[in-house]
Structure 1
Amino acid sequence: MPIRRVWAPRIDFDALRQELKLPGDFPADALAEAEAAAAAPPPPAADRTDVPFVTIDPATSRDLDQAMHLSRRPGGGYRVLYAIADVASYVRPGGALEAETWARGQTIYLPDGRIPLHPPVLSEDAVSLFPDVDRSAVVWTIDVDADGAIVSTTLERARVRSRAKLSYEAVQQQVDAGTPPEPLALLPELGTLLARRAADRGAVNLPLPEQEVEPDNGGWRLVLRAPLAIEEHNAQISLLTGMAAAELMLGAGVGLLRTMPPPKAEAVVKLQAAAKSLGVLWPSGAQVGAVVASVDPATPRGAAFLDQAADLLRGAAYTPFDGAPPEQTGHGGVGASYAHVTAPLRRLADRYATEVCLAVATGATIPEWARAALPRLPKAMTDSDRLAGAANRGAIDLAEAVLLHDRVGEVFEAGVVDLDDPSKGRPPGGTIAIDEPAVRARCQGSLSLGVRMQVRLITADPSTRKVQFEA
């Protein structure tokens, strides 16, 4: 699916920041701690600077959490070396910086800048895995067999040195040309294998196009971007690591899982009915994940089906345990037990879960500061997830309203991607998607799922960030 870009005039996101009470500058004492830690990095226990790690991220990223090196194992299978920024070694337990990261929870992204979890002196400098400099990391070594099953997992604190900062777009071009960078040459092969294995165990991956607002020559552009294949392959390595982490923590009887109940039977029946009405083939006995993976998100009916499939993925939570395993250990979207450990620069929970895994894998005692934090993390992460979601949605809503403000009354061609639940007492309507500009919004009137139809824009108000159409 091509990237669609539509230019919007200058937009001020400060009102959104104030409305959501997003964090501003770091307190002086937290910043002083960060600067002191950056000036005196900890001595890691091992030297792995001989491994030619590389990072792969969006081109403008500076908070680089992960570096990777892939190789084949003698006798078959793969070895994944995954270096994760060692944030815990730079944040003093009980200090002002730790307290401030708890207040923030995660990095929040707005079109005109990020609101980081950690001060930039750490997140965009001393801890970030930039190329050609030594950095402290927690290195995961995950061996998988030829079928993609985990054979063994080890962890260690180590000094690493990335060889290159790569972007998804550049790597995808190299892969398409048959010249992938050597440390990632196996990524398409391994990523495809892991994705197939995930589908077999019932995982549900929704490759929905992302709606983004990007700066462009003094204004902004609204972008609808489908994920590149290399991004999906890269995500499989993160998922593999998260599953290895969950396995370690469950074996030790202590940790923090990312959980989600399996899809409800009635939701699957509803999705099967939608598939029939949208012309999506659902072979007898096929797993939900396999059907979802077969759908093209670039088509109106494919997008409508995937929007419906999102109803399957409800109830995600952070689940701590210390002693008996929790009642819910699996993640319905992953199709396995899973934990967040690969983004500690951007997500608070990863720092503590990583510390638990490191202690378990090395036979050490789990630090009390990490163990004691586990019961408190679900609320901190839920609150920050809610705030980050509101910021992202608010920024997109504002850009859409500004972009369409002068076009009220115009008629657009649209695809119907979702219908309102009539049991909730709302007037008839649903969600439609127009192509140019790439906007999804509420539409009132009689709609039929998956069809193309003409809709009229009746509201585009930047002050309320509201956009609405009528059939």
Structure 2
Amino acid sequence: MSSTWNETAPWAGRRSGVWDPVLPRWPDDAPPGPDFAVIRAEFDVPEDFPPEVLAEAARPPVLPDEDATAVELVTVDPPGSRDLDQAVHLQRDGAGWLVRYAIADVGAVVRPGSALDAEAHRRGQTLYSPDGRTPLHPPGLSEGAASLLAGQERAAALWTVRLDGDGAVRSVDLRRARVRSRAQLAYPEVQAAADAGTLPEPIALLPELGRLLEEAAVARGAVELGTPEQQVVRTDAGGWTLVSRSDLPVERWNAEISLLTGRVAADLMLGAGVGLLRTLPPARAEDVDRLRRLAPALGVAWPDGAGPGRVLAALDGVDPRHAAFREEAATLLRGAAYTAFDGAPPEQTGHAGVGAPYAHVTAPLRRLADRFATEVCLAVAAGREPDPAVRAALPALPATMAASDRRTRAVERAAVDATEAWLLAGRTGEEFAAVVVDVEDDRGTVVLAEPAIRARCSGAGLVPGSRVRVRLVEADVARRSVRFTVVGD
């Protein structure tokens, strides 16, 4: 690990997974930062809930008869989360594993055709902004009565999945049940406990099983980019800055439990001939060939017979050339969609990122599609037909979710763009250290060492993975536009 690169690379972070920003200083009379409410209004993000929706959300959920409160479940989420969709318990099962995964039973509260349902369709998903979140459901429901808060008896869809010693699925059970989470855990404290070998019993096996499932995913041909995420965060002084953050290991391992559940859910629905999948077509052969040809120039080893997923899994997290390779690999993962079917399975059933058929079922408090897919799975697992109202809603869900995804991406991108321009306002002409991560002709994308800004850059001789000096030529807050040029051009 290069100490020089550690001092400058935006993705060379601490083991905690939260990257160490060098925060810029602003004058005392500087504006407090971008107005994210204006951005939300620009993209028609719903804010307040209508009175009839709040009234429906205030009705207490009816708890199922089956009592699973003896299962010692815990939740594992970002610090401060209140909309807790998932609770987990892991244990040995002979030579294999027993995974119990409780998912908040939103379908026990929100009925198709209700005011709550109509509002959820209007929103599509919870939208996260730097200054707060715009929830899919009223907070009294999503952060209260339906959330799997510690010590509270809640309605859940309880998955019980038995795996063999290699992580292959042996059996699946799903039913509605009452559950009670024992503790609300946050990723940083769980990572610290994992490092110290002191994880609580319900998730003591998470590192071992998580790594096993990660390796099984690579063996299936799953493609995981692992690209650091650009985030807008509040500073201690009350302003805003940008940091680059990658997932902690425990976040990846926890995600593997969710991905496992999504895979078995997809299998249930495909077996029944009805459902809602999350699909992603395989990478095009020409895109894989292009990436393979690029690998030697970026110092990436591509062994004979290895697929792109295994090559990506072996990359160095702090090598700037490997970071550029990850950026180029994004072309492999195009065309993600929701795919509804009723009868014959769709032509495209797989998800290239997962390496298997997959469905979204583990975040119903925050994503509309998960409630409907879960309802189908509950019916199939019980040996009955899905509710006609649920079945009738499936065909329109892909378009609803696609529109919600577009709005979410637009708001998130606008928030980052606005923060980038605000951070650099008044600094036109200054030079910065940067790394080139993408190039097309004489234009490319660079990532600054500080603050963690990604922007377009023009100039001859741009090479992916190279370190360059760039000069700021534009930082327009109103247009949310930032541009650089290579020093010397």
Give yes or no for contact 2:299–2:322 (8 Å, CA) kept in 1: no
Q: Is the partner of 1:46 in helix, strand or coil?
A: coil
1:328 equivalenced with 2:351 (yes/no): no
Give yes or no for contact 2:221–2:355 (8 Å, CA) kept in 1: yes
1:191 equivalenced with 2:210 (yes/no): yes
1:41 equivalenced with 2:55 (yes/no): no
- Aligned mate of 1:59, from 79, 89, 111: 79
Of all paired residues, the percent bearing the same amino acid is: 58
1:32 equivalenced with 2:55 (yes/no): yes
Deviation of the 1:216 alpha carbon? 2.6
1:239 equivalenced with 2:254 (yes/no): no
In the TM superposition, 1:247-396 aligns within 5 A as 247-396=267-416
Query: Residue in 1 aligned with 2:421?
Result: 401
Consecutive unaligned residues of structure 2, counting only runs of 5 or more, are 1-12, 25-30
Consecutive unaligned residues of structure 1, counting only runs of 5 or more, are 423-427
1:88-133: per-residue Cα shift (whole Å, max 9, x none)? 1111221111101000000000011101000000001111111011
1:430 equivalenced with 2:453 (yes/no): no
Give yes or no for contact 1:30–1:97 (8 Å, CA) kept in 2: yes
- Aligned mate of 1:441, from 437, 455, 461: 455
Report the Cα distance in structure 2 between the residues aligned to 1:351 and 1:302, rounded to whole angstroms: 38
Report the Cα distance in structure 1 between the residues aligned to 2:279 and 2:112, rounded to whole angstroms: 27
Query: Residue in 2 aligned with 1:83?
Result: 102
1:270-299: per-residue Cα shift (whole Å, max 9, x none)? 111221110111111112111101112332
Q: Is the partner of 1:326 in helix, strand or coil?
A: coil
1:141 equivalenced with 2:160 (yes/no): yes
Equivalent AA in structure 2 for residue 32 of structure 1 = A
Give yes or no for contact 2:63–2:154 (8 Å, CA) kept in 1: no
Deviation of the 1:365 alpha carbon? 2.4
Equivalent AA in structure 2 for residue 275 of structure 1 = A
Equivalent AA in structure 1 for residue 439 of structure 2 = L
Equivalent AA in structure 2 for residue 450 of structure 1 = G
Report the Cα distance in structure 1 between the residues aligned to 2:310 and 2:138, rounded to whole angstroms: 42
Equivalent AA in structure 1 for residue 352 of structure 2 = G
Report the Cα distance in structure 1 between the residues aligned to 2:423 and 2:23, rounded to whole angstroms: 8
Give yes or no for contact 2:86–2:362 (8 Å, CA) kept in 1: yes
Q: Is the partner of 1:400 in helix, strand or coil?
A: helix
Give yes or no for contact 2:229–2:246 (8 Å, CA) kept in 1: yes
Report the Cα distance in structure 1 between the residues aligned to 2:84 and 2:475, rounded to whole angstroms: 38
Q: Is the partner of 1:406 in helix, strand or coil?
A: coil
Give yes or no for contact 1:57–1:168 (8 Å, CA) kept in 2: yes
Query: Residue in 1 aligned with 2:10?
Result: none
Deviation of the 1:159 alpha carbon? 0.6
Aligned residues: CA RMSD: 1.1
- Which region of structure 1 is more displaced relative to structure 2, 89-98 or 123-132? 89-98
Deviation of the 1:24 alpha carbon? 1.1
Query: Residue in 2 aligned with 1:10?
Result: 32
In the TM superposition, 1:63-74 aligns within 5 A as 63-74=83-94
Report the Cα distance in structure 1 between the residues aligned to 2:351 and 2:130, rounded to whole angstroms: 31
Equivalent AA in structure 1 for residue 130 of structure 2 = P
TM-aligned CA distance change 1:373 to 1:399, over 3 Å:
same
- Which region of structure 1 is more displaced relative to structure 2, 4-13 or 222-231? 4-13
Report the Cα distance in structure 2 between the residues aligned to 1:383 and 1:6, rounded to whole angstroms: 36
Equivalent AA in structure 1 for residue 219 of structure 2 = D
1:205 equivalenced with 2:224 (yes/no): yes
1:459 equivalenced with 2:459 (yes/no): no
In the TM superposition, 1:78-227 aligns within 5 A as 78-217=97-236, 218-227=238-247
Report the Cα distance in structure 1 between the residues aligned to 2:65 and 2:21, rounded to whole angstroms: 48
Deviation of the 1:6 alpha carbon? 4.6
Q: Is the partner of 1:407 in helix, strand or coil?
A: coil
Deviation of the 1:7 alpha carbon? 4.0
Equivalent AA in structure 1 for residue 55 of structure 2 = A
Matched positions, count: 461
Deviation of the 1:317 alpha carbon? 0.8
Q: Is the partner of 2:447 in helix, strand or coil?
A: strand
Q: Is the partner of 2:426 in helix, strand or coil?
A: helix
Q: Is the partner of 1:4 in helix, strand or coil?
A: coil
Deviation of the 1:354 alpha carbon? 0.2
Q: Is the partner of 1:340 in helix, strand or coil?
A: coil
Equivalent AA in structure 2 for residue 261 of structure 1 = P
Report the Cα distance in structure 2 between the residues aligned to 1:95 and 1:293, rounded to whole angstroms: 45
Equivalent AA in structure 2 for residue 52 of structure 1 = E
Give yes or no for contact 2:241–2:423 (8 Å, CA) kept in 1: no
1:20 equivalenced with 2:43 (yes/no): yes
